[in-house]
């Protein structure tokens, strides 16, 4: 538990831009909502490595979104079924699933396409919110937290040594 908190604090206090941190959380949403063994998740991991997003924040926020995705899986399934059965998209799905990428994508499963769609929508909504929150934390809250007596006591504890070492 302490190591998770340490990773979160390190990410918030790092020199990385707020956009990189927000992208990490947004990618964690899509990874967490969708089944892990999907082709798009492999592409998301490559994207995260290529653009150097904060991997520790991605790995810390991923389990939270896996849990939320588990709770919402029946909703994802029903939304995915509606997407797959839309008459206007039938020809699109037929041509897509006849390609090699379409067959490997697992988008023909209602739960996968539903969770991916909702994950992308939530990621788009979360990106500016997380970015704004990181900016607000760094500008307003960081100095206030460092001035608290609790933080001064914490800096003298084993927790802070763990934070400083990692």
How many domains does one find in the chain? 1
Distance between CA atoms of residues 81 and 86, nearest Å:
9
pLDDT tens digits, one per residue of 31-90: 999 998 888 999 999 999 998 888 888 998 999 999 999 999 999 999 999 999 999 999
Q: What is the residue range of 71's domain?
A: 2-165
pLDDT tens digits, one per residue of 123-132: 999 999 999 9
Distance between CA atoms of residues 93 and 107, nearest Å:
9
Q: Is the dihedral of CA 152, 158, 161, 166 positive or negative?
A: negative
What pTM was estimated for this model as a whole?
Answer: 0.83
Spatial contact of 20 and 54, defined as CB atoms under 8 Å apart: yes
Distance between CA atoms of residues 145 and 135, nearest Å:
15
């Amino acid at each position: 538990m302490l190591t998770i908190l340490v990773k979160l604090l390190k990410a918030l206090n790092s020199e990385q831009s707020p956009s990189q941190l927000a992208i990490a959380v947004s990618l964690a949403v899509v990874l967490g909502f969708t089944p892990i063994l999907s082709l798009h998740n492999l592409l998301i991991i490559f994207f995260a490595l290529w653009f150097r997003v904060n991997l520790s924040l991605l790995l810390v926020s991923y389990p939270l979104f896996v849990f939320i995705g588990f709770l919402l899986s029946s909703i994802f399934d029903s939304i995915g079924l509606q997407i797959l059965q839309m008459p206007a998209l039938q020809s699109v799905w037929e041509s897509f699933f006849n390609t090699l990428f379409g067959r490997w994508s697992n988008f023909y499963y209602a739960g996968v396409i539903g969770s991916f769609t909702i994950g992308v929508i939530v990621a788009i909504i979360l990106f500016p919110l997380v970015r704004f929150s990181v900016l607000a934390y760094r500008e307003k809250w960081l100095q206030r937290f460092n001035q608290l007596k609790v933080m001064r006591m914490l800096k003298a504890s084993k927790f802070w040594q763990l934070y400083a070492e990692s």
